[in-house]
Amino acid sequence: MAAHLSYGRVNLNILREAARKELREFLDKCAGSKAIVWDEYLTGPFGLIAQYSLLKEHEVEKMFTLKSGKLPSADVKNIIFFVRPRLELMDIIAENVFSEDKMHSSRDFHILFVPRRSMLCEQRLKEQGVLASFVNIDEYILDLIPYDGDLLSMEYESAFRECYLENDQTSLYHTAKGLMTLQALYGTIPQIYGKGDCARHVANMMLRMKREFAGSQNQILPVFDTLLLLDRNIDLLTPLATQLTYEGLIDEIYGITNGYVKLPPEKFAQKKQGEASKDLPTESKKLQLNSAEELYAEIRDKNFNAVGAALSKKAKIISAAFEERHNAKTVGEIKQFVSQLPHMQAARSSLANHTSIAELIKDITTSEAFFENLTVEQEFMTGVDTDKVNTYIEDCIAQKDPLIKILRLMCMQSVCNNGLKQKVFEYYKREILQTYGYEHILTLNNLEKASLLKLQTSSRNNYPTIRKTLKLWMEDANEQNPNDISYVYSGYAPLSVRLTQVLARPGWRSIEEVLKLLPGPHFEERQQLPAGLHKKRQQGENRTTLVFFLGGVSYAEIAALRFLSQMEDSGMEYIIATTKLLNGTTWIKSLMDRPESQIS
Amino acid sequence: MTFITANWNPLGEAFYRKSELYEMCWNLRDGLRDCLVAAAPYGGPIALLREPVRRSPSSRPQLEIYSASGVSIASFPWKSGPVVHLGWTVSDELLCIQEDGSVLIYDLFGSFKRHFSMGQEVVQSQVLEAKVFHSPYGTGVAIVTGSSRFIMATNIDDLKLRRLPEVPGLQGKPSCWVVLNQDRQTKVLLSTGSELYILDNTSCTAVSLPGLAPQGGSIVHMSVSFSYKYLAVLTDSGHLWTGPSHLQDKMSEVDTKKLTPPKQMVWCRRPKSQQPSVVLMWDRLLMVVGVCQDTIQFPTEDQCVLVGEMDGVRIISSTNQELLQEVPLVCQEIFKIASMAPGALLLEAHREYEKSSQKADEYLREIKEQSMLGEAVSQCIEAAGHEYDPNTQKSLMRAASFGKCFLTDFSPGQFVTTCRELRVLNSVRESSVGLPLTHTQFKQMTLQVLIDRLVYRQFYPLAIEMCRYLKIPDYQGVSRVLKHWASCKVQQKDLSDEAIARAMCAKVGDSPGVSYSDIAAKAYECGRTELAIKLLDFEARSGEQVPLLLKMKRSQLALSKAVESGDTDLVYTVVTYLKNEMNRGDFFMTLRNQPVALSLYRQFCKLQEQETLKDLYNQDDDHKELANYYVTASYREKRLESRLSLLQSAVDEYNKAKNEFSAKATEEEMRLLRFQRKLDDEKGAGLLELSLQATMEALLALGLYKQAEQLYRDFRVPDKRYWWLKLKSLAEKEEWDELEKFSKSKKSPIGYLAFVEVCMKSNNKYEAKKYVSKVTPEQRVKAHLAISDLDGAADAAIERKNDSEIATVLSRCSAADRLLIERLNRASTAKK
């Protein structure tokens, strides 16, 4: 089921298995049949750990969504609440439990807090008078979820907002804990680098936790050589730009959540079926996207302009493979052909799917609107006219394009100009308030607080210096056969990944000056390894770095890191971890405030 | 050496030996007479409760606790009620079972720990007899009451009293009874003399002993083996019946020819016993009765107490202590006279070698010829483990070492381990420590438990030395010892806080696994708050410090520790606690000094207590946040008046925050709201909640051009945006004349191509054409193409001599436009 997790340099399946084991152990603690009441937010992340079949094996017969009122009736012995430790959820649980007691009294209640139990919540349950109704109150430590063979995500959507707007560092505590778990399974990571305030905080907590657990040191040969902690706010620009890799575009256009994408159904109508099913399906098509699918693994990180060629090449290979059957003469040959058939059919349907998706995306990328938007983005990134009111933004507002699109562009201009001139800034803000409504003043305030928008205070604009030193803009980006990470944005090399690249070679000392221009401290820490666990490196053996993006990472950045891993002379393999996978839209969305939603 | 077998007595095929463990250190004036005695197995402590000659308030009995070697540990007058029975728990706690059914628990040092009762009814009926027993569930207590009922608790640490069913016909106490542990159930086997019953949770079943001779008589004594597997029953005719405790079989029946009941009767077995036996003790006689019907008799001079062990019986008298056991087979083989076992030969070989005699070689050769050298070495090592005398141990180990030299592939593991273990055993057997453990017992008990026992007895240095010597990981070894030491140390009332903290820091340092917060908790329990705080400072895990600090009401400190830990839940917990403990002013001040806590509390308030949020911002003079708060609050208001007044507050705060833009924007919003309400009232336009843009759009849609115009001017809407809006709106409503008028009102800030395109969107080519001529030359081609006027586009392109525009037009031409294509191509080439 999750074989793709074990293909990479680091077998992330160990982590998944550890998580599954813990889940099974908890379920077995509640003997007898059970129903799970889900905090809806958790179902996605849990899907990456365990399918329904696992739950079923452990006598989970029913699943409900947590909502106020009465619990649906179910003839089970145990009711288990799977929830995040949030006060508002505790109130709902209390309501559920109260309305339950009158009907049945024989059902046992349990709570499983994910990822950590909380005294605050238990106190709340106590105040509500239901704490004693629970047979088991437990925690399910699910910090880092294996998302793909080289990717871990905490699926913690609000991490960036909490850290930068609300000064709430809960997510960082979970991060540190998650990294401790990871080290328990994969050995102590000897070197820690970091840039940014959050990174510093996480590293501090990790070092402290290590001291606290001193003596219980595990005796595992370290799998990771280096940990690199990066704050999202040192590179605000990258996620704002439109991603131009295949996977990045799927995410930009359709949104990938917990590894799944929902696509418009028209293109996926079954063609070869009988006439009966000719009418188009109305439900959107849900596809799982990960490296388990061979073709997807091959094209996901390509620049979209190179995807067409890859698909047609693949199509030729597949049809050639099908042609083989004509050459199969002997029984042995036929048998071999037949044995490969399921694999080939899977490849063919995968090809069909991705051809359809590529067509859908192409319709959009070839549109004039997409082109204009991209042109403006690239102008900003290359520093063209970033200090004036941009007519395209102005027009988009006049046409009432989606607000998030406007905000993305505006933030981008602000970041590339090290803040906007007062006149420009206020003009934009007024335009937004007048067009989209005054309530967005809160969102604008938030973006300012997160430094995505700011007033230019000094006349010096650092961005061009950073761009030049780190070679963030490459004129001749090769989209087909890339030789630099800038291919993922057709010219722009993501700053975060550039920092990672420089760290590996020649080292950050060469860019001290630029690092000082970026917010927060940069640092290096070493963790002592127990004697005998120092790795003896083979000649030519790659080092492994875990890059942790605090506050989220985009698919294009991941693609760029994968590109670096694959470069022959890089000598480094990257595993990526993050609080959440994001793109400019989901990111901006997470920072928006909508007072209306609070009315209800 | 030759006399090793001197104290061996044959019993059937096997031998029994009685060897002295200690000369007792105690000085008992009246011996063990008239005492309640409890001695724990595994060389455990001994408790004595001496009954005074006359019971009166002035002459209280004395409770004395000794180590197994008789070193006094504690002694104090017994001030509670009459005690029926004494017993030790598995963790070396003393249980004193009183007549009224209450059970008092003391630790090894005689300090009272806690008590529990065997039930209310016992207070009335009184305890007649009691037994303390050990099972996998822990230590249990069983009593029989004056009303002939059995009450049992299988685990005193998880007290659940079980009242066993009534025994038919039983009056007073039974003639004898034992507690059995079978099939994970605890039962009572009792005899009323003639009848034998098994009592379990639910039933009382009469049973009989298989094969007991009919003339056997009534039962006077019973004993169950250490493992609960075997039962011995003595009848009044002196017949001793032995068999497995499930009573399905008989092992043997021996006539002891003694008609008086013995004082004590105990099984004496060992694992892999060849010849198990039962030891019976009368006033002046100790009789070992083998299952083989053989007996050994020892005269005794003094009152003794027998303590059953897993591999023998300890005999404690007022002067000394002996261990009676079956000689282990391997020792028999080595030391038996004229033994030819390989071990015996090796021992002999080594002895000759030490004498530098060539006979050593002969012996060795003999063993090697039979290829038994490995076996011989193993035997010597194993036997050494079973020997109590260090000299014997040494000679056996030396022999083993000697033999090992002639072997190439003998694993040294067994040898090394046994050496180490013997060193440990010898040191704990020292009279000053007084743990007379045999090797077999030690293996069963495990090293961990041994260390625990040493720690309970406060032999800290020895325990630490042992851990270091055996290289036990700190976590399970030294640290654990230090932990105990520390929690004992904090109870020493005669030392100052300062001195203890210093000693603690010096000794414990940062040994892994020692939790300072646990030690601090202990100190706090003993009422030493200041010491607890000092100790908490050493704790590395700040999270661990918090609960105790809260308990000690050091909430400020707790808060900063919680913040330090990074665990936000912990911070929340302390904050909630503080909120309830402090008055609001102090609470806010406290938070002010802890920005992390403050922002978390703000978060909490945002979701749970909006009003408090306002107070918080107010206190901090955070005008910007306060303004944002008012803005948010305004959206919760249904009534426009209150909404406006909240917005006015927001304006004031924005002004205070010197945020002119936001203040102005808010004022504009207020103005807009008032305008919207006015129009809603007048025209029912339904404008409220709309943005300015949407409002203008709605007005235009309603044909209220003047009002829209007014907003455009009042709010200084950029021309471009307004023109776009009006253009689209008019086109949508197909107000073409109005549109034309609008286009002529002044020069369009958005150009005229927009007009063309918008008209075409409404499929009105006629109207669109009107604006084509007004389009700037740069966009003219586009404009012509928009209305599908290829000729016009071609003219414009050719006029502008622009290749790319020509190409664009060309790409739109179809085959039918042959002439046009030619013209365009010509223009294109002419240029070149």
Minimum CA–CA partner of B513 in chain A = A215
- Point out the least confidently predicted range of A167-176, A535-544, B107-116: A535-544
Share above pLDDT 90 across residues of chain B, in percent, rounded to a whole number: 42
Q: Which residues pair with B65 in a beta bridge?
A: B47, B74
Query: Is B665 within 8 Å of A433 when comparing Cβ atoms?
Result: yes
H helix intervals, B657-789: 660-683, 692-701, 705-714, 719-732, 736-745, 753-761, 765-772, 777-786
Query: Is A215 within 8 Å of B662 when comparing Cβ atoms?
Result: no
Query: Is B566 within 8 Å of A88 when comparing Cβ atoms?
Result: no
Q: Which chain A positions have a beta carbon within 8 Å of B570's beta carbon?
A: 119
Mean pLDDT of B501-522: 81
Q: Which two tokens stand for residue B492?
A: 């020493």
Minimum CA–CA partner of B547 in chain A = A119
Query: Is A437 within 8 Å of B690 when comparing Cβ atoms?
Result: yes
Q: Tens digit of pLDDT for each residue in B297-310? A: 999 888 899 999 99
Highest mean pLDDT pick, A102-106, B163-167, B211-215, B827-831:
B163-167
**If you average pLDDT over every residue of chain A, what do you get?**
89
Alpha carbon dihedral B646, B650, B651, B654, in 10-degree steps, equals: 170
DSSP string, B496-551: -HHHHHHHHHHHHTT-TT--HHHHHHHHHHTT-HHHHHHHHTT-S-HHHHHHHHHH
Q: Which chain B positions have a beta carbon within 8 Å of A205's beta carbon?
A: 566
pLDDT value, residue A64: 92
A217 pLDDT band (50/70/90 cuts)? low
Query: Is B599 within 8 Å of A120 when comparing Cβ atoms?
Result: no
Query: Is B725 within 8 Å of A215 when comparing Cβ atoms?
Result: no
Q: Is the pLDDT of residue A277 over 80?
A: no
Q: At which residue do the structure tokens 């109150």 appear?
A: A137
Q: Which chain A positions have a beta carbon within 8 Å of B688's beta carbon?
A: none
Between A87, A123, A438, which is nearest B669 by CB? A438
Query: Is A434 within 8 Å of B602 when comparing Cβ atoms?
Result: no
Q: Which two tokens stand for residue A57?
A: 């094996």
Query: Is B568 within 8 Å of A173 when comparing Cβ atoms?
Result: yes
Share above pLDDT 70 across residues of chain B, in percent, rounded to a whole number: 98
Quote the minimal CA–CA distance from A466 to chain B in Å.
31
pLDDT value, residue A117: 86
What's the distance, CA B421 to chain centroid? 30
Q: Which two tokens stand for residue B340?
A: 């030819």
Within an 8 Å CB–CB cutoff, is residue A392 touching chain B?
no
| CB atoms near residue A599 (< 10 Å) | 10
Between B540, B668, B718, which is nearest A211 by CB? B540
Q: Which chain B positions have a beta carbon within 8 Å of A441's beta carbon?
A: 631, 662, 665-666
Please calculate the CA angle B792-B795-B799 and round it to the nearest 5 degrees.
Answer: 145
Among candidate residues B227, B326, B223, B331, the one with its CA nearest the CA of residue B270: B326
Query: Is B595 within 8 Å of A599 when comparing Cβ atoms?
Result: no
pLDDT value, residue A273: 46
Q: Tens digit of pLDDT for each residue in A248-276? A: 999 999 999 989 999 998 877 655 444 44
Tally of residues, chain B: 832
pLDDT value, residue B56: 63
Minimum CA–CA partner of B627 in chain A = A442
A545: three-class secondary structure by DSSP: strand
Q: Which two tokens stand for residue A94?
A: 């209390």
CA distance B499 to B491: 13
Q: How many CB pairs under 8 A join A and B?
A: 129
* Spatial CB neighbours of B250, under 8 Å, sequence gap ≥ 6: B209, B210, B211, B212, B241, B242, B243
Query: Is B569 within 8 Å of A85 when comparing Cβ atoms?
Result: yes
Between A214, A593, A599, which is nearest B636 by CB? A599
Query: Is A598 within 8 Å of B632 when comparing Cβ atoms?
Result: yes
Q: Which residue has the higher pLDDT, A471 or B802?
A: A471
Quote the minimal CA–CA distance from A120 to chain B in Å.
5
CA distance B314 to B305: 8
**If you average pLDDT over every residue of chain B, what do you get?**
88
Query: Is B573 within 8 Å of A119 when comparing Cβ atoms?
Result: yes
Q: Tens digit of pLDDT for each residue in A433-466? A: 999 999 999 999 999 999 999 999 877 888 999 9
Between A120, A445, A598, which is nearest B569 by CB? A120
H helix intervals, A437-511: 441-449, 463-469, 495-504
Q: Which two tokens stand for residue B380?
A: 């010597």
H or E element at residue B563: helix B555-565
Q: Are B558 and B572 in contact (CB under 8 A)?
A: no
Q: A178-208 burial, b for 16+ CB within 10 Å, e for fewer?
A: bbbbbbebbbbbbbbbbbbbbbbbbbbbbeb
Quote the minimal CA–CA distance from B661 to chain A in Å.
7
Mean pLDDT of A290-298: 91
Between A119, A211, A595, which is nearest B632 by CB? A595
Highest mean pLDDT pick, A215-219, A283-287, B463-467, B816-820:
B463-467
A31 pLDDT band (50/70/90 cuts)? confident
Share above pLDDT 90 across residues of chain A, in percent, rounded to a whole number: 60
What's the distance, CA B726 to chain centroid? 72
Minimum CA–CA partner of A445 in chain B = B628
Q: Are B820 and B788 in contact (CB under 8 A)?
A: no
Q: Which two tokens stand for residue B657?
A: 């925050």
Query: Is A214 within 8 Å of B474 when comparing Cβ atoms?
Result: no
Name the A residues in 15-74 with CB < 8 Å from any B CB: none
pLDDT value, residue B68: 92
Residue B360, amino acid: A
Minimum CA–CA partner of B718 in chain A = A431
CA distance B667 to B675: 12
Q: Is the pLDDT of residue B369 over 60?
A: yes
Q: Is the pLDDT of residue B52 over 90?
A: no
Q: Which chain A positions have a beta carbon within 8 Å of B578's beta carbon?
A: none
- Point out the least confidently predicted range of A193-207, A387-401, B654-668, B815-829: B815-829
Q: Are B274 and B291 in contact (CB under 8 A)?
A: no
Query: Is B566 within 8 Å of A595 when comparing Cβ atoms?
Result: no
CA distance B412 to A431: 87
What's the distance, CA A281 to chain centroid? 30
Please calculate the CA angle B779-B782-B785 and round it to the nearest 5 degrees.
Answer: 150
| CB atoms near residue B554 (< 10 Å) | 18
Query: Is B662 within 8 Å of A436 when comparing Cβ atoms?
Result: no
Q: Are B828 and B806 in contact (CB under 8 A)?
A: yes
CA distance B10 to B337: 13
Mean pLDDT of B163-183: 89
DSSP B262: P
Mean pLDDT of B639-643: 93
CA atoms within 13 A on the CB side of B381: 23
pLDDT value, residue A102: 59
Mean pLDDT of B213-229: 85
Quote the minimal CA–CA distance from B477 to chain A in Å.
12
Between A168, A169, A596, which is nearest B635 by CB? A596
A423 pLDDT band (50/70/90 cuts)? very high
Within an 8 Å CB–CB cutoff, is residue A123 touching chain B?
yes
Between A205, A429, A437, which is nearest B566 by CB? A205
Alpha-carbon dihedral sign for residues A511, A512, A517, A523: positive
Tally of residues, chain A: 600
A493 pLDDT band (50/70/90 cuts)? very high
Residue A418, amino acid: N
Mean pLDDT of B166-180: 89
Q: Is A571 left (phi over 0), alpha (psi -120 to 50) or beta?
A: left
pLDDT value, residue B54: 56
CA distance A404 to A444: 11
Q: Is the pLDDT of residue A598 over 80?
A: no
pLDDT value, residue B185: 87
Per-state percent for chain B, helix, strand, coil, to nearest 5: 45, 20, 30
Q: Are B94 and B65 in contact (CB under 8 A)?
A: yes
pLDDT value, residue B1: 44
- Point out the least confidently predicted range of B74-88, B138-152, B207-221, B407-421: B207-221
Give the ipTM: 0.89
Q: Which chain B positions have a beta carbon within 8 Å of A395's beta carbon?
A: 720
A104 pLDDT band (50/70/90 cuts)? low
Within an 8 Å CB–CB cutoff, is residue A320 touching chain B?
no
pLDDT value, residue B715: 93
A20: three-class secondary structure by DSSP: helix
Q: Is the pLDDT of residue A589 over 60?
A: yes
Q: In what order do the strands lie in the sheet with B219-224?
A: B219-224, B230-235, B239-244, B252-255
pLDDT value, residue A343: 87
pLDDT value, residue B313: 94
Between A172, A216, A429, which is nearest B475 by CB? A216
Q: B454-479 burial, b for 16+ CB within 10 Å, e for fewer?
A: bbbbebbebbbebbeeeebebbebbb
CA distance B596 to B85: 60
pLDDT value, residue B379: 93
Among candidate residues A459, A458, A455, A463, the one with its CA nearest the CA of residue A429: A455
Q: Tens digit of pLDDT for each residue in A364-392? A: 999 989 999 999 999 999 999 899 999 99
pLDDT value, residue A600: 30
Please calculate the CA angle B268-B269-B272 and round it to the nearest 5 degrees.
Answer: 170
Highest mean pLDDT pick, A103-112, B93-102, B497-506, B774-783:
B93-102
pLDDT value, residue A274: 46
Q: Which residues pair with B309 in a beta bridge?
A: B312
